[in-house]
């Protein structure tokens, strides 16, 4: 499967065939999830209607971290097997992951304001998501910092692997730091268990977010491949123009 799709032309054909179904599934699942989350699910006994932010916040948080592992896995494949599409995939996924992380931070902030009375709290989880956001930014900046896109891709791949090794260490240290600085001041919302009437919409929303990521990833990869083709054509254009007079001469005559 992986080697079969290593050919960009084959990937373009396969992704073009898959994309409409994937898009339709994304829209259906997200619409169903939003309906269940915003209308069917009951308001929380404590938080009221504002609990509905959770149905966007939690899936975004799951994707924020998940996408980083996708990038790391793709980078590993790119470095070890030199898979030509793994680089494209990793780079296409990075802005998506950063966007999910930002959505997670923003919705968390909006949720925190009425619940905790503060836009931002130096809670361990908030802090590690913020660091994750900076890891994404560093990766994106590094990939785009070179004149040669291939060099940027390989540097980004090494950084993604370094980051994925460091991520658990960062999370551990942030947890450690948090317990040192402010012991147990953060509310554990909703208690340990979550009722099925909320869990089901949440899981559907998470599936919808994952489908959205897959759809956008394929779209972005296709765009990147088309861009690469356009770039190659543009670079080849002067040569063709240089060769053109000899081609054109018969027509002129």
Partner 1 sequence: MGAYLGLFRRELLLAVRQGGEIGLALGFFVLAVVLFPLGVGPEAEMLRRIGAGIIWVAALLAAVLSLDRLFAADHADGNLDLLALSAMPLEGVVLAKCAAHWVTTGLPLTLISPFLGELVDLDSAALPLLALGLLIGTPALSLLGAIAAALTLGARRPGVLSSLVVLPLYLPVLIFGAGAVEAGIAGTGARPHLLLLGALTLAALPLAPLAAAAALRQALD
For partner 1, which residue of 24, 162, 187, 194 counts as binding (CB under 8 A)? 162
Task: Collect all residues with Cβ–Cβ distance below 8 Å to 197 and sequence separation of at least 6.
Answer: 40, 41, 42
What's the CA gap between 235 and 199, in Å, rounded? 53
Only one of the segments 52-60, 111-119, 128-136, 215-223 lies at the binding site for partner 1 (rule: CB under 8 A); that segment is: 128-136
Q: Is 239 in the site for partner 1 (CB under 8 A)?
A: no
The answer to whether 132 touches 65, Cβ cutoff 8 Å, is: yes
The 3-state DSSP class for residue 237 equals: helix
Task: Write the burial class of residue 110 (CB in 10 Å: 0-12 exposed, 13-18 middle, 19+ buried).
Answer: middle
Q: From the CB of 181, what's the least distance to partner 1, in Å?
A: 9
Q: Is 76 in the site for partner 1 (CB under 8 A)?
A: no
- Give whichever of 180 and 251 is closer to partner 1, judged by the CB atom: 180
Q: Is 80 in the site for partner 1 (CB under 8 A)?
A: no
What's the CA gap between 102 and 83, in Å, rounded? 30
Q: Is 135 in the site for partner 1 (CB under 8 A)?
A: yes
Report how many residues bind partner 1 under the rule CB under 8 A: 29
Q: Is 151 in the site for partner 1 (CB under 8 A)?
A: yes
For partner 1, which residue of 33, 163, 201, 208 counts as binding (CB under 8 A)? 163
Residues forming beta bridges with residue 44, ordered by sequence position: 48
Q: From the CB of 123, what's the least distance to partner 1, in Å?
A: 15
For partner 1, which residue of 176, 195, 223, 236 counts as binding (CB under 8 A)? 176
Q: Is 180 in the site for partner 1 (CB under 8 A)?
A: yes
Only one of the segments 25-33, 85-93, 159-167, 230-238 lies at the binding site for partner 1 (rule: CB under 8 A); that segment is: 159-167
For partner 1, which residue of 2, 24, 165, 237 counts as binding (CB under 8 A)? 165
What's the CA gap between 201 and 59, in Å, rounded? 11
What's the CA gap between 244 and 239, in Å, rounded? 8
Most distant CA pair in the chain: distance in Å? 88
For partner 1, which residue of 3, 9, 42, 147 counts as binding (CB under 8 A)? 147
- Give whichever of 147 and 247 is closer to partner 1, judged by the CB atom: 147
Instruction: Give me the residue label for tokens 């971290």.
Output: 65
Reference 111, options 61, 163, 155, 176; nearest CA is 61
The 3-state DSSP class for residue 87 equals: helix
Which stretches of the chain bind partner 1, using CB under 8 A? 79, 131, 134-135, 137-138, 141-142, 145-147, 151, 154-155, 158-159, 161-163, 165-166, 169-170, 172-174, 176-177, 180
């Amino acid at each position: 499967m992986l080697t079969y799709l290593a050919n960009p032309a084959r990937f373009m054909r396969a992704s073009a065939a898959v994309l409409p179904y994937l898009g339709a599934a994304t829209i259906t699942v997200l619409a169903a999830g939003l309906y269940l989350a915003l209308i069917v699910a009951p308001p929380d006994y404590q938080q009221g209607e504002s609990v509905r932010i959770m149905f966007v916040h939690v899936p975004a948080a799951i994707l924020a971290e998940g996408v980083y592992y996708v990038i790391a896995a793709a980078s590993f494949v790119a470095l070890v097997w030199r898979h030509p599409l793994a680089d494209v995939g990793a780079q296409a996924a990075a802005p998506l992951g950063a966007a999910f992380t930002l959505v997670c931070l923003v919705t968390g902030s909006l949720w925190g304001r009425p619940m905790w009375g503060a836009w931002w709290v130096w809670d361990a989880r908030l802090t590690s998501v913020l660091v994750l956001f900076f890891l994404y930014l560093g990766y994106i900046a590094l990939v785009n910092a070179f004149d040669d896109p291939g060099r940027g891709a390989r540097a980004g791949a090494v950084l993604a692997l370094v980051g994925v090794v460091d991520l658990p260490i960062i999370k551990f240290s942030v947890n450690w730091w948090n317990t040192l600085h402010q012991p147990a001041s953060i509310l554990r919302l909703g208690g340990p268990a979550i009722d099925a009437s909320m869990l089901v919409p949440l899981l559907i929303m998470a599936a919808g977010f994952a489908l959205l990521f897959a759809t956008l990833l394929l779209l972005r990869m296709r765009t990147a491949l088309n861009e690469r083709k356009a770039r190659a054509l543009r670079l080849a254009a002067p040569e063709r123009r240089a060769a053109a007079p000899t081609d054109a001469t018969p027509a002129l005559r």
